[in-house]
Amino acid sequence: MQSVESTILIVDDEQYTLEFLSYNLTRNGFNVVTATNGKDAIKKAELHKPAIIVLDIMMPEMDGIETCIELRKNKLLNDSAIAFLSCRGEDYTQIIGFEAGADDFIKKPIRINLLIERLKALERRMNKTREKLPVNKSLIIDEECFVVNYLGNNIELTKKEFELLHLLYKNPGKTISRDDLFNNIWSGDEQSSSRTIHVHISRIRNKLNPDVVQTVKGFGYRYKPPEA
């Protein structure tokens, strides 16, 4: 048995599930906190700042999806990973879960050894991300984990938005032509157009800061590093 290192908040309205998971996770070195509904989960998450929050979907008062959305709004919990644990494993349910801000989706019935390894892997991934996001920089991009952090907050970007920002980010202060951006990100797709680049740049500016990506009229765009 390893020493206690991380706190896990388990949220489920089934007492048996809470007891079963608490016992096994505690034996494997986790400090376990439990809640039986979403509202209580938010309070306990703010109090304990858990490394991982494990959420059931079907719960009274506030379901898991709504709870996840509220947790992701809380800046105090930016470092907490969220994993859904549910018997509802349909694709659309998982998609909704990830869109709500989840980092993982684990299907019931629970296979405890597999669950523990999934949680440990999630913890390692989150720790690696934190190490790559130093607090002395305004904008950090982790290309391995596809994480964009601006002023201490993780920013959700689409795949193309991420690729576009990352290309500019790697060349600070250098103006990159629209053609080069287009060919690198869209591979010269004839169905796309220069208008597509403009739309994506506008979305990036709205999500970060209007001054982060500058327009060079008649040529292209450049990334201006924000002040640290």
Segment 87-93 shows an average pLDDT of 78
Judge if 204 and 144 occupy the same domain.
yes
Mean pLDDT of the chain: 83
What lies within 8 Å, CB to CB, of 144 at 6+ separation is 128, 132
Segment 203-209 shows an average pLDDT of 89
Check whether the bond before 172 is cis (ω within 30° of 0).
no
Of 114-123, 133-142, 152-161, 162-171, the poorest mean pLDDT is in: 133-142
Q: How far is CA 60 from CA 14, 42, 45, 110, 177, in A?
A: 11, 14, 18, 21, 53
Tell me, what's the pLDDT at 43?
Answer: 93
Judge if 157 and 204 occupy the same domain.
yes
Judge if 162 and 67 occupy the same domain.
no
Domain that holds residue 125: 6-131
pLDDT-based confidence at 9, cuts 50/70/90?
very high
Judge if 157 and 203 occupy the same domain.
yes
pLDDT-based confidence at 77, cuts 50/70/90?
confident
Judge whether 110 lies within some domain: yes
Judge if 144 and 124 occupy the same domain.
no
Of 35-39, 69-73, 82-86, 131-135, the poorest mean pLDDT is in: 131-135
Tell me, what's the pLDDT at 6?
Answer: 84
Instruction: Check if the beta carbon of residue 73 is closer than 8 Å to that of residue 28.
Output: no
Judge whether 155 lies within some domain: yes
Tell me, what's the pLDDT at 50?
Answer: 93
Write down which residue in 89, 109, 131 finishes a domain: 131
pTM comes to 0.57
At residue 35, does pLDDT exceed 80? yes
What lies within 8 Å, CB to CB, of 6 at 6+ separation is 29, 30, 31, 50, 51, 52, 123
Write down which residue in 131, 154, 189 finishes a domain: 131
Write down which residue in 95, 111, 131 finishes a domain: 131
Judge if 127 and 107 occupy the same domain.
yes
* CATH number, domain with residue 151: 1.10.10.10
Segment 2-17 shows an average pLDDT of 80
Judge if 76 and 148 occupy the same domain.
no
Q: Count of domains in the chain?
A: 2
Judge if 102 and 43 occupy the same domain.
yes
Judge if 76 and 156 occupy the same domain.
no
At residue 190, does pLDDT exceed 60? no
